[in-house]
Amino acid sequence: MKIAIAQINPTIGDLPGNAQKILEIAQKAAAEGARLLLTPELSLCGYPPRDLLLNPSFLQAMDIGLQQLARNLPPALAVLVGTVEENLTAHNTGGKSLFNSIALLERGKVKQVFHKRLLPTYDVFDEHRYFEAGSEANYFTLDNVHVGVTICEDLWNDEEFWGKRSYTTNPIADLSILGVDFIVNLSASPYSVGKQKFREAMLKSSAVRFQQLIIYTNQVGGNDDLIFDGRSFALNRQGEIVCRVCGFEQDLVVVEFDEEQRDFRSGSIAPEYESEDEEIWHALVLGLRDYVRKCGFSKVVLGLSGGIDSSLVAAIATAALGKENVLGVLMPSPYSSEHSISDALALAENLGIKTHILQIGELMQGYDKTLAELFAGTEFGLAEENIQSRIRGNLLMAISNKFGHLLLSTGNKSEMAVGYCTLYGDMNGGLAVIADVPKTRVYSICRWLNRNDEVIPQNVLTKAPSAELKPGQVDKIRYHLTTF
């Protein structure tokens, strides 16, 4: 039996678009001879749908879309689709009105529906707000092969691996007792650095402990503040990886179950990333690309200061959207150094992006004149410095509004943590691309980018950071964050 892993990138709330995506990949799977197709958790509506689930018309449209998808699928292919089902006993039991479910679609019908048993309510998850936990072990039989079904968190409760139990139930143990031939897991597991190694170690422990074959299918794509890395994989009973899908991109990979050996045959194994910097780079590129695409934009604009943060954001934007869709704006003031302009222009030339220079000296003088009477008798200080940042923020927002470009802000996590940023100035923007990247990591990613050819100008990497909001300014706090 051939099992196809559909590592797809759904758009939250786009029921017709997601159904079409599933249909198209199902047709490809059928053409490759697959008998069973796996799609991620809540693949029909996208994860996390959050309060869309409180809209009755959305739930009704999802049910209609599921029925229609079942009728359109290739007849020889069984498909597991992530969806939501009503809890018909909620009124009597006082439980939640919905289940987080997986539907088995085959030969034009919804054959079975399985409910997620373990509902996470920590970190970015809030599933108890919407869902009732399933109470039964989930499995089905297809061509005399018994398939256990789990949904994301259902695999994250092996007390031997964790040293404790977070839930009273272990769905893998229950399915092992039932004697299924293999277990599939349909997930929407967000990305964090190093998480893939943890996933593989955790499921290896479960595969060996319960002597179970496991296929892990994960969503891919960026959804606002969350990035899903995909990297689906399959394990044999020895806990060995027999298949791994590429990270941060859609893909379809087929795993073959040998019915005589009752084991998976070795398939394609995507290599691991060579470094965390490479992994994070791919995550950032995907996150920006999907935010722009899913929000209906096509082009972006950002301020180029000649500093390392804006340089990295510009490089990410170019990789995500193409050089023709990125505009860099230089806004020098009387305090700007010569290298801030030359470094920004060198970066733009390396990336091949368009630039525009807007001098802000006269605008600064206008503010000084307007505020002269009110500020009389005071010394130049933070207020005047921040006016420069706010002038730049206003100009960038004007460009964004005039041309429909998404404005990217360029502050890093270290700056955000210590409040080294200006409200209504450098914080302006629709997406803070590197707001979860510490300054030290900004430097290491840029060095990784330059491993073969210069992308980030060398002077950007070696000069002391400065906001250049007053003569001779050096950002000592920022500099310490980059060097220790």
| Same domain as 284, residue 230 | no
At a CB cut-off of 8 Å and minimum separation 6, what does 149 contact?
A: 80, 102, 114, 138, 139, 140, 183, 184, 186
Q: What is the pLDDT of residues 355-384, one digit of tens each?
A: 999 999 999 999 999 999 999 999 998 899
Residues of 438-476 as b/e, b for ≥16 C-beta within 10 angstroms? bbebbbbbbebbbeeeebbbeebbebebbbbbeeeeebe
Number of domains in the chain: 2
- The last residue of one of the domains, among 244, 272, 300, is 272
pLDDT at 339: 83
| Same domain as 323, residue 298 | yes
Question: How confident is residue 420, by pLDDT bands cut at 50, 70 and 90?
Answer: confident
Q: Would you say residue 73 has pLDDT above 60?
A: yes
- Alpha helix stretches (DSSP H) within 352-438: 361-375, 382-403, 413-418
pLDDT at 478: 43
| Same domain as 238, residue 309 | no
Question: How confident is residue 477, by pLDDT bands cut at 50, 70 and 90?
Answer: very low
Omega into 40 within 30° of 0, i.e. cis?
no
Tokens 């292919």 found at: 77
Which amino acid is present at 88?
L
DSSP H or E run through 72: helix 56-72
| Interaxial angle between packed helices 476-483 and 439-449, expressed in degrees from 0 to 180 and rounded to the nearest 10 | 60
Q: Tell me which of 21, 106, 132, 152 is the catalytic residue.
A: 152
| Same domain as 347, residue 218 | no
Work out the number of other CB atoms within 10 angstroms of the CB of residue 383: 11
pLDDT at 93: 86
Q: Would you say residue 473 has pLDDT above 60?
A: no
Q: Would you say residue 63 has pLDDT above 80?
A: yes
pLDDT, mean of residues 137-144 = 96
Length, in residues, of the chain:
484
- The last residue of one of the domains, among 272, 307, 337, is 272
pLDDT, mean of residues 64-73 = 98
| Same domain as 340, residue 246 | no
243 given a catalytic annotation = no
Range of the domain at 288: 279-483
Q: How far apart are CA 330 and CA 112, in angstroms?
A: 59
CATH, residue 197: 3.60.110.10
Q: What single string gives the DSSP state of each residue in 31-71?
A: HTT-SEEE--TTTTT-S--GGGGG-HHHHHHHHHHHHHHHH
Q: Tell me which of 41, 132, 153, 200 is the catalytic residue.
A: 41
Query: Is pLDDT larger for residue 408 or for residue 415?
Result: 408
| Same domain as 103, residue 86 | yes
Q: Would you say residue 474 has pLDDT above 90?
A: no
| Same domain as 318, residue 171 | no
Strands 326-330 and 214-218: unpaired
* φ and ψ of 381, to 5 deg: -160, -150
Q: How far apart are CA 7 and CA 217, in angstroms?
A: 7
Whole-number percent of the chain with pLDDT over 90:
90
Q: What is the pLDDT of residues 447-469, one digit of tens each?
A: 999 999 999 999 999 987 765 56
Q: Tell me which of 21, 96, 116, 204 is the catalytic residue.
A: 116
41 given a catalytic annotation = yes
415 given a catalytic annotation = no
pLDDT, mean of residues 48-54 = 97
Q: Would you say residue 168 has pLDDT above 80?
A: yes
pLDDT at 410: 96
The answer to whether 47 and 41 are in contact (CB under 8 A) is yes
Task: Give burial (CB, 10 Å; 0-12/13-18/19+) of 241.
Answer: middle
| Secondary structure E strands in 156-267 | 182-187, 214-218, 220-223, 226-229, 233-235, 241-244, 251-258, 263-264
Q: How far apart are CA 125 and CA 130, in angstroms?
A: 11
Q: How far apart are CA 125 and CA 143, in angstroms?
A: 36
| Same domain as 296, residue 151 | no
| Same domain as 214, residue 291 | no
- The last residue of one of the domains, among 272, 289, 320, is 272
| Same domain as 309, residue 207 | no
| Same domain as 315, residue 439 | yes
Q: Would you say residue 480 has pLDDT above 50?
A: no
CATH, residue 428: 3.40.50.620
pLDDT at 481: 40
| Same domain as 172, residue 105 | yes
